[in-house]
Structure 1
Amino acid sequence: MRINIMLFSLFFLPSVLMAGEINTDRKNIAIDGYDALAYHLQNKAVKGVSKFSIEWKGAVWYFSSSEYKELFKENPEEYAPLYGGHCANGLSDRHKVYGNPEIWLLQEGELFFFYSRRGRRAWIAETDTKRQQADEYWRLVQFD
């Protein structure tokens, strides 16, 4: 048992602690290549393309059109998912985990991603409390 904990600490914890502010894949593409604007303007998850991409906060962001790319460039904080696209519910439980761009929620104009549908439901059931907890933990783990 002790060996398992030590191995976990050696291999897993450093990767979590080194995870960047933005949820990226191995090619450094933000939010699995989904278009952050589409959630806000089309109310759906839409894959972007490399043809319409920019770099922001050390990650490459894809968009489905030149128009969406330009809108994002003008005000990325308005359109980017909160918590860098990491799971909002996980952060409220003090875990920085992957946020799935296909499991999302727009609340008061803010975009949140979740690891699972269960986490999304938990967030909706206790939004105020979970939001406060996630905000507090995010301040501790984010990288500027």
Structure 2
Amino acid sequence: MAYRKLPNPFANVRYLVEVDGVPRGVFGSCSGLEVEHRHVEFYFGPDAIDLFDVYSPNHEERVILAEGIALDDMLPEWEHANAEGHVERHDGSIVAIDEFGRPCARWRFHGAWPEHLESGGAVGDRRRRIESVELICDDIRMN
């Protein structure tokens, strides 16, 4: 009897996105989490040129998640509502997953909304392929 290995759509999953405590999507890559504090250069002084790096707490953080699968319709509907001008801000977390499926790091975000979402075709029952999604967060910190 010949055995055939079925394709696993979750084989390259490295990040899990939870919105309001509910898992909403899994992704293969993520950028924007590696910087803890973002600095902004300010100029002070009338004559001398002095630049100071000052942490700006009112500065928005951008996180780009790519190569993903939406576990339900919440992420595409959330982006669609924001594109129509009904901005919904949610709290949640991004969980890094190791090769055995265990969580190894967690970042919590507050006041986030999706600015852009590129969607692919359907993967299965109520799952959609997501090429990339860009989240804008008021604050994101590693736990």
Greater strand proportion: 2
Greater helix proportion: 1
Settle same-fold status: TM greater than 0.5: no
Which structure's CA Rg is the greater one? 2
Larger RCO of the pair (alpha carbons < 8 Å, separation 6+) = 2
